[in-house]
Structure 1
Amino acid sequence: MVFWIVSGALALVVSVIIGLTLMRGRVGDKPPAAYDLQVYRDQLKEVDRDLARGVIGTEDAERMRAEISRRVLAADAQLQDGGETGGQPGRGGLIVAVALGAVLAAGSVWVYTEIGAPGYRDLPLKTRIAESDAARANRLSQSEAESRVPPAPMNPNATEEFLTLMAQLRETVKNRPDDLRGLTLLARNEAGLGDYIAAYNAQSRIIEVKGDEASASDYAYLAELMISATGGYVSSEAESALRSALERDPRNPPARYYLGLYLMQVDRPDAAFRTWDALLRESRPDAPWVAPIRERIEEVAWRAGETEYTLPPLEGTAPGPTAEEMAAAQDMSPEERQQMIRGMVTGLSERLATEGGTAEEWARLIRALGVLGDTDQARAIWSEAQTLFSETPEDMAIVQEAAEAAGVAQ
Structure 2
Amino acid sequence: MLGFWIIAAATALATVAILGRVLLFGGSSDESTDAHDVQVYRDQLRELDRDVARGVLNEDDAERARVETSRRLLDADRRAQAAAAPATAPRGLTFAVLAAACVLILGGGIGLYSIAGAPGTPDLPLATRIELAEAARAERATQAEIEAELPDWAGPPPGADAEYLAMVDKLRAAMEERPDEIEGQELLAQHEGALGNYRAAHAAMARVIALKGDDAASDDYTKYADLLVLAAGGRVSPEAEAALRAALERNPEDGIALYYLGLMYGQNDRPDLGFPIWRDLLEGSRPDAPWVGPIRTQIDQLAAMAGVDYTPPAMAAAGPIAGPSQEDMAAAADMTPEERLEMIRGMVDRLMDRLATEGGTAPEWAQLIGALAVIGDTERARMIWGEAQTVYADDPDALALIDGSAANAGLASPRALDAGSEPAQAAETDATVETVDEMLQRLATQGGAPVDWAALIVALAAEGDTERARVVWGEAQSAFAAHPDAVALIDQAATDAGLSDPVGFSAPRAGPAPVPSQAPEALPGPDADDIAAAAEMSAEDRTAMIEGMVAGLADALTTDGGPPEKWVMLLNSLGQLGDTDRAAEIWAAAQDYFADDEAGLARVRPVAEALGIAE
TM-score interval, smaller chain: 0.5 to 0.7
Matching of residues 190-229 of structure 1 within 5 Å:
190-229=192-231
Q: Structure 1 residues 196 and 15 mapped into 2: Cα distance closer, same or farther (>3 Å)?
A: closer
Q: Structure 1 residues 393 and 128 mapped into 2: Cα distance closer, same or farther (>3 Å)?
A: same
Q: Which region of structure 1 is more displaced relative to structure 2, 275-284 or 219-228? A: 275-284
Give the unaligned 5+ runs of structure 2. 26-86, 327-346, 372-379, 385-415, 428-447, 456-615
**Counterparts of 2:354 and 2:194, CA distance in 1:** 24
Q: Deviations over 1:241-261 (max 9, x none)?
A: 111001111110110111111
How much does 1:24 deviate? 11
Q: Deviations over 1:57-104 (max 9, x none)?
A: xxxxxxxxxxxxxxxxxxxxxxxxxxxxxxxx89899979x88x979x
Counterpart amino acid of residue 314 in structure 1: M
Counterpart for residue 182 of structure 2: 180
Matching of residues 118-267 of structure 1 within 5 Å:
119=117, 122-156=123-157, 157-267=159-269
Matching of residues 282-297 of structure 1 within 5 Å:
282-297=284-299
**Counterparts of 1:358 and 1:399, CA distance in 2:** 27
How much does 1:198 deviate? 0.8
**Counterparts of 1:12 and 1:173, CA distance in 2:** 71
How much does 1:8 deviate? 4.9
For the 8 Å contact 2:290–2:360, the answer to whether it is kept is no
Matching of residues 3-14 of structure 1 within 5 Å:
8-14=8-14
**Counterparts of 1:91 and 1:170, CA distance in 2:** 86
Counterpart amino acid of residue 11 in structure 1: T
Q: Which region of structure 1 is more displaced relative to structure 2, 265-274 or 308-317? A: 308-317
**Secondary structure at the counterpart of residue 318 of structure 1:** coil
Using CA pairs below 8 Å that are at least 6 residues apart, which structure has the higher relative contact order?
A: 1
Identity among equivalent pairs (%): 40
**Secondary structure at the counterpart of residue 315 of structure 1:** coil
Counterpart for residue 551 of structure 2: none
Q: Deviations over 1:22-46 (max 9, x none)?
A: 8999xxxxxxxxxxxxxxxxxxxxx
For the 8 Å contact 1:184–1:203, the answer to whether it is kept is yes
For the 8 Å contact 1:135–1:266, the answer to whether it is kept is yes
For the 8 Å contact 2:278–2:295, the answer to whether it is kept is yes
Q: Deviations over 1:236-292 (max 9, x none)?
A: 211111110011111101101111111112210111111111111122222222222
**Secondary structure at the counterpart of residue 283 of structure 1:** coil
Counterpart for residue 405 of structure 1: 450
How much does 1:296 deviate? 1.2
Counterpart amino acid of residue 12 in structure 1: A
Is 1:275 equivalent to 2:320 in the alignment? no
How much does 1:393 deviate? 6.1
How much does 1:352 deviate? 4.5
For the 8 Å contact 2:288–2:361, the answer to whether it is kept is no
Q: Which region of structure 1 is more displaced relative to structure 2, 158-167 or 200-209? A: 158-167
How much does 1:20 deviate? 8.1
Q: Deviations over 1:141-163 (max 9, x none)?
A: 22111101112433323233222
Matching of residues 350-369 of structure 1 within 5 Å:
352=354, 355=358, 361=364
RMSD: 4.8
**Counterparts of 1:232 and 1:134, CA distance in 2:** 21
Higher helix fraction (1 or 2): 1
How much does 1:214 deviate? 0.9
**Secondary structure at the counterpart of residue 296 of structure 1:** helix
Q: Deviations over 1:163-210 (max 9, x none)?
A: 221111111122222222211111010011111111011111111222
Give the unaligned 5+ runs of structure 1. 26-88, 327-344, 369-384
Q: Deviations over 1:279-333 (max 9, x none)?
A: 1112222222222211111111001001x2112211121341599xx9xxxxxxx
Q: Deviations over 1:348-402 (max 9, x none)?
A: 98x959947589849959x99xxxxxxxxxxxxxxxx9xxx9xx869x979989x
**Counterparts of 2:211 and 2:163, CA distance in 1:** 29
For the 8 Å contact 1:197–1:229, the answer to whether it is kept is yes
Q: TM-score, normalised by structure 2?
A: 0.40
For the 8 Å contact 1:180–1:206, the answer to whether it is kept is yes
**Secondary structure at the counterpart of residue 309 of structure 1:** coil
Counterpart for residue 320 of structure 1: 321
How much does 1:10 deviate? 2.2
How much does 1:3 deviate? 10
Q: TM-score, normalised by structure 1?
A: 0.57
**Counterparts of 1:319 and 1:399, CA distance in 2:** 29
